[in-house]
Amino acid sequence: MKQKKTIAILGMMCAGCAANVERKLNSLEGIASASVNLPGRTALIEFDTERITLEQMKEALSGIGYDMVIEEDRNVEAIEHRAYLTLRNKVLLSWGFAMLVMSLSMGWFGISDYDASFRNQTALIIALLNLVYCGRPFYVTACKQLMHGSANMDTLVALSTCISFLFSTFNTFWGDAFWGSRGIENHTYFDASVMIITFVLTGRLLEERAKQGTASSIRALMGLTPKTAHLIDAGETNDIPISAVQPRDTLEVRPGEKIPVDGTIVGSRSAYEVMGTVDESMMTGEAVAVEKRKGDKVLAGTIVKSGTFHFRAEAVGQKTVLANMIRMVQEAQGSKAPVQHVVDRIALIFVPTVVGLSVLTFALWLLIGGSQYLPQAILSAVSVLVIACPCAMGLATPTALMVGIGKAAEKNILIKDATALEELRKVDAMVMDKTGTITEISENSENSEISESSERLKPHAREAMQELQSQGISIYMMSGDREERVAHWATAAGITHYKAQVLPQDKEDLVRQLQAEGHHVAMVGDGINDSQALAAANVGIAMGKGTDVAMDVAQVTLMGQDLRRLSDAIRLSRKTVSMIHQNLFWAFIYNMVCIPLAAGLPYLFGYQWQITPMLASALMAFSSVSVVLNSLRLRFTS
């Protein structure tokens, strides 16, 4: 049986990590597809439960240095918080080691030149402590990757620090004899090995802090579900964990509380027909609290504003509307935009390519200057290993997508996948159903699918159409209603292109006709009769109060009735994709500019300057953090 599941993956730190995890999962028999989300630390996996188990996936990933959280009693947030605290402590300790080594190398302790041997041996001990304690994860992961024929950012850090440390250790004990006989000045680079680890760890700490903002929207949705529920059993009220609630249980909710599961009101303590009011803005986007009567539906996560009432539980656990929203947002954040597939292919070969460039840099320096330039060759090769960071490139797309899709969820726009978000920005024609989409039936009218006078334009519909047209989008309204009524509502909404008395096939035909003319088409509808056109469109957009069929077919769902969310979705799509392009541009430019500088290219033009390993590690950390911070700017977009 096929199943799709979003699972937390621990231990991923860079694009190489994500690429390795994804490649490993996709190589396993029984997995149809696996898509890894680096900033979210998750994998969206579609697999056959009869051919592979979660335990087998976990074992496979463990072999290459990663952990899959499949146990119910393992709290991912608690694990990540502990890991964050451990990382913070290592950063503080590593900075302490760094200051000690820098003090020794700069002579801040008053150690004169004839004490160089003591100074170097002391620096060796401090650097070794830093490598063993603070840098240990780099070497463990690098070894596991090597055993399986793969590599990631940890491989580059492990190589560069080991080369710096071993070269400096050799110079400490045998350097004077070896280099002195050749007339070459003896140098050690313990400070470089320490500072590389310090800066990389600092960069990761800053990334973790920044990434918390990218996932804030999904955490906010998760926080809407209360931890306990009031169970009515034999006339008594008892508090139970929400996980213990079963369908058909009778529950009580009180003013100010969140409704724990989906259900139907069966009674209250009120003698009035209206039993209370509920704030459903997180579902519908409507700010006004909704009056609730016996027989009305209530949804998990919505807030009781007034009244105490009882309701019968119907959808619980992962079957509630809220749980479905959370799952949809998680899957969308874990999906890949088309541009990301190019980045993934680059990430797979990036680290081996960098190692090759480092070896080439080393060889060229020896070719140019002979053994006299060996220290310079090693310094340049180490700088290339450190500066070429695939992290910024790997974070460029998923961080922007996470923020963009999360921001859309805050605006009551549910986007199913990254492709839909990317496609929305191209839309220049929009086909819209009339009834249920642009107009609504008055709820306070008897026999409202019959009384014509009960139909009305949705609030803000005309304003929404004007906003879309100002974005360069042509609007086409389609309806099975009579010509005069369609013309009336089209005029009321400010729509010039419309067609009456159409069948479902006519809506699809219009979509395909516009596509044949070169338009990028979005279809907006709410009914079964819209499903053909929704499926045919470049982007299908369903109304949240529409049929299940429409929402299943569509890639985007608008919760609530505010059509202004359509222009919000298009604007957010354009800004998100623009942010992705910015991030990728700077990530590639960073490597194209910095690698030659780290290799010592300025020396060929007479400039006595190059990027040192310490500066390289600082720049590498800054590049990753800057990409995440740039993506976070989307959170402040309108």
Name the residue among 482, 379, 475 with its Cα closest to residue 432: 475
Name the residue among 508, 509, 510 with its Cα closest to residue 498: 510
What gap in Å lies between CA 606 and CA 608, rounded to an integer?
6
Q: What three-state secondary structure class fits 487? A: helix
- Amino acid occupying residue 618: A
Is 176 considered catalytic here?
no
Q: What three-state secondary structure class fits 12? A: coil
Quick one: tokens of 620?
Answer: 């590498």
Q: At what angle are helices 483-493 and 461-470 packed, to 10 degrees?
A: 70
Show the 3-state SS of 363-389: HHHHHHHHHHHHHHHHHHHHHHHHHCC
The answer to whether residues 27 and 48 touch, using CB atoms and an 8 Å cutoff, is: no
- Amino acid occupying residue 638: S
What gap in Å lies between CA 625 and CA 498, rounded to an integer?
49
> DSSP state, 561?
S
> DSSP state, 617?
H
Measure Cα distances from 304 to 229, 259, 443, 534 in Å: 13, 7, 22, 35
Q: Which of 344, 433, 530, 568 is catalytic?
A: 433
What gap in Å lies between CA 591 and CA 296, rounded to an integer?
59
Tell me the sheet residues that pair with 196: none
How many CA atoms lie within 13 Å of 637's alpha carbon, on the beta-carbon side?
25
CB count, 10 Å around CB of 147? Answer: 11
What gap in Å lies between CA 52 and CA 522, rounded to an integer?
38
Place of tokens 């921001």: 407
Burial 168-197 (b: 16+ CB within 10 A, else e): bbebbeebeeebeeeeeebebbbbbbbbbb
Q: Which residues contact 269 (CB under 8 A, 6 or more apart)?
A: 307, 308, 309
Tell me the sheet residues that pair with 279: 303
Place of tokens 């797979």: 348
What gap in Å lies between CA 9 and CA 18, rounded to an integer?
10
What gap in Å lies between CA 620 and CA 615, rounded to an integer?
9
The answer to whether residues 531 and 517 touch, using CB atoms and an 8 Å cutoff, is: no
- Amino acid occupying residue 183: G
Quick one: tokens of 171?
Answer: 């110079």
Contacts by residues 599-605 (CB-CB < 8 Å, ≥ 24 positions apart): 599/357, 599/361, 599/364, 599/380, 599/383, 599/384, 600/361, 600/365, 600/376, 600/380, 600/383
> DSSP state, 555?
S
Name the residue among 341, 342, 537, 330 with its Cα closest to residue 417: 330
CB count, 10 Å around CB of 346? Answer: 16
Measure Cα distances from 147 to 55, 166, 230 in Å: 22, 22, 54
Catalogue the active-site residues: 433
